[in-house]
Structure 1
């Protein structure tokens, strides 16, 4: 029997247990998947305890996707480039980190027939999900990426601007992607940017709960094609299961 879980600070909104348990049932895998809430001050010690326990692996979510990296024994080349880990395999006393958010995002844009090559993208947020999304866009042939962040960021020398500058510059892009948690349940009446700043052909929100965030509602009202994070959630989970069951 494999023992799995999701590590995060606040997890009441998560659909991951439902997805993983259904996958294991459909594939005749004897296993369990539980939510593991860890406060920030206990993260390092609690993670090291899990590493020595009988867990096969865990998913990592906000705010620990980058914080977990120093605690790992190995990290995949892809996750190393991204600088964020959302899947950990415990094997032979070692913790090995991967990033399956990348798989989930690439699958999402392909599933929705979103053309990337030669396009321009604006990414809201500079956290772990943002970095996986950027790697996916680069691999799919994006021409231009601008990151909008409240904090200074230098992710592989990509251009980063503040929200204040984004507002003043009146930037239009082909693809606008929200990689922040703003608008996630229970704070469903929030959007990372105002409606008048949403200028794109496609608007993507990595949030899956609610299915249609205020950000996506704004975009839809403007006649923009919208995509939420549901497909990404499912596909990153499948990619993680393949790692744990390999």
Structure 2
């Protein structure tokens, strides 16, 4: 039986085995998918052991995406631009790296009826999560994309890195352009610590779609704050998780699973937790 896995530290909380088990059952694929706790200083060795034992592919989560980027022998264009890898593919004796996070975000937005073409998009945060989604967002041809971060230099550097692909700018949180945004995406870690974003409520005045990459049993701190400011729609990152997993599954097996029943089952399992 073909072996797949997700590598992370910590990893016990991962929903990836649940998701890929459903994908496999739905598509009639014979495979086994496990969660592997890799030592912080032993990621490369963990992957090598996994491949030697018959591993065909894997997902990579925190904190190993940058290490995976350096480990693989060949990078997809998406992974190269993101500077990180969340999907490993072992094929013809070579380890290939891709990044499906951005596709996952865009597909989740489209699933919820949110297109980005000609829209004004604001992303909060300039870390790895943002870097992984900028190029797929720009491929949707937004009217503009602005990256805002506590440390302005990081946002400005990201904007420079991606400006050849579309209209993207960067600034500190205090210098966001005074305009109406159509979509506001939280790619910072603020919701993990229960904090609301450090931006003016005026940026939610246009009733934008507000999207938090974090998800959980309860509504996230970011989405709670946005709803209170009059957001038109709030979405969390559960759908992004499922959609990026579906893209990984497609890269491994050549079959695109139906994500809707998996979304529903995962949401139900969270509500019952």
TM bin, normalised by shorter chain, reads 0.7 to 0.9
- 1:115 is displaced (CA, Å) by 3.4
Number of residues paired by the alignment?
241
Q: 1:52-74: per-residue Cα shift (whole Å, max 9, x none)?
A: 33211111112222231111011
| 1:228 is aligned to 2:236 | yes
Tell me if the contact between 1:211 and 1:230 (Cα under 8 Å) persists in the aligned partners.
Answer: no
Instruction: Summarize deviations over 1:123-179 as a string: whole Å, max 9, x none.
Output: 12223331232222211111222212345233324433234545xx76652211011
CA contact (8 A) 2:87 2:248 kept: yes
**1:88-113 deviation digits (Å, cap 9, x = unpaired):** 11123321111222221121121122
Q: How does 1:49-88 map to 2 (within 5 A)?
A: 49-88=49-88
Give the TM-score normalised by structure 1. Answer: 0.86
1:161 aligns with 2:164: no
Change in CA separation of 1:124 and 1:67 when aligned onto 2, cut-off 3 Å: farther
Q: How does 1:21-36 map to 2 (within 5 A)?
A: 21-36=21-36
Which residue of structure 1 aligns with residue 246 of structure 2?
238
Q: 2: distance between equivalents of 1:98 and 1:4?
A: 15
**Alignment CA distance shift 1:95-1:178 (3 Å):** same
Higher helix share: 2
In the TM superposition, what whole-angstrom CA distance separates every residue of 1:27-60 from its partner, at most 9, and x where no partner exists? Answer: 2222221212224322233333334332111111
Q: Counterpart of 1:182?
A: 190
In angstroms, what is the RMSD of aligned CA positions?
Answer: 2.4
Distance (Å, rounded) in 2 between the aligned partners of 1:182 and 1:118:
28
**Which consecutive residues of structure 1, in runs of 5 or more, have no partner in the other structure?**
none
**What is the 5 A alignment of 1:40-189?**
40-150=40-150, 152=154, 153-154=157-158, 155-157=161-163, 158-166=168-176, 172-184=180-192, 187=193, 189=194
Counterpart contact for 1:208–1:233, Cα < 8 Å: no
C-alpha spacing 1:54/1:102, structure 2 compared with 1 (3 Å): same
Where in structure 2 are there 5+ consecutive unaligned residues? Answer: 255-273
Asked if structure 2 preserves the Cα contact closer than 8 Å seen for 1:86 and 1:97, the reply is yes
CA shift for structure 1 position 239: 1.3
- Counterpart of 1:203 (choices 205, 210, 216) is 210
- The reply on whether 1:193 has 2:193 as its aligned counterpart is no
Asked whether the 8 Å contact 1:56–1:91 carries over to 2, the reply is yes
TM-score (norm 2): 0.78
* Matched position secondary structure for 1:35: strand
